[in-house]
Chains A and B, each alone.
Chain A
Amino acid sequence: GAGVSQSPRYKVAKRGQDVALRCDPISGHVSLFWYQQALGQGPEFLTYFQNEAQLDKSGLPSDRFFAERPEGSVSTLKIQRTQQEDSAVYLCASSLRSGRSTGELFFGEGSRLTVL
């Protein structure tokens, strides 16, 4: 497809379960971002990749959160031992080059995680 694709779109997990969220960025996009968007709030930065290198993971809220992009394209955000406070929409965005230099991030529709 032409846009950023995220799966699953909706995920319900029981507290303590592990979840994996997938992001397929636009082909050729170097930069990839993960954001967390709680209900009624703006997106909060989680982590940033340039190709396969994770250059910034300062936004990951705990060591239960892990992200990877092993071949510089598809990325997976993994959350271990999910807690209720992890319930949010997880947004993936990609950019052709450095996101800031172009200013334009292309966002997927998000994965809505609900932890019961």
Chain B
Amino acid sequence: AQSVAQPEDQVNVAEGNPLTVKCTYSVSGNPYLFWYVQYPNRGLQFLLKYITGDNLVKGSYGFEAEFNKSQTSFHLKKPSALVSDSALYFCAVSADNYGQNFVFGPGTRLSVLP
């Protein structure tokens, strides 16, 4: 079975500092990995994905994530955080042998302090 762990419920970072939101996954087969962001009273929005190719993927709003196969991780990063980045972040995984289902992690709340 597929699963996603986001070990931190909450991440606090000062504006201008780098941020990392952690994600680890478990799948059988090749993983497809995604990050989504949810702002208050808004639907989830796609940030970035890893399907194949370069381990470092870049996405919307200056975010990037690094796929690490040996550590089964897909941490989300940004070099310089903005207050407007404060939101709920979800990591998700899918796999070839798991139909079209995306399995989402429990979410990490990011607070960027001015």
A joins B in a complex: yes
A residues near B (Cβ < 8 Å) are: 3-4, 31, 33, 35, 40-45, 48, 50, 55-56, 58-59, 91, 93, 98-100, 103-110
Question: In the docked arrangement, what's the CA distance between A50 and B101, Å?
Answer: 12
Question: In the docked arrangement, what's the CA distance between A33 and B104, Å?
Answer: 13
Distance in Å: Cβ of A32 to nearest Cβ of chain B = 10
Residues in chain A near residue B44, CB distance under 8 A: 43, 91, 93, 105, 107
B residues near A (Cβ < 8 Å) are: 4, 32, 34, 36, 41-46, 49, 51, 90, 94, 99-107
Number of A-B contacts (CB under 8 A): 68
A48-B99, A100-B32 known; A109 vs B41 contact (CB < 8 Å): yes
Question: In the docked arrangement, what's the CA distance between A108 and B43, Å?
Answer: 5
Sample of 20 more A-B contacts, CB < 8 Å, known A44-B104, A100-B100, A107-B43 = A40-B107, A41-B107, A45-B101, A45-B103, A48-B100, A55-B100, A56-B101, A58-B99, A58-B101, A59-B101, A99-B100, A103-B32, A103-B34, A103-B46, A103-B51, A104-B49, A107-B36, A108-B43, A109-B41, A110-B43
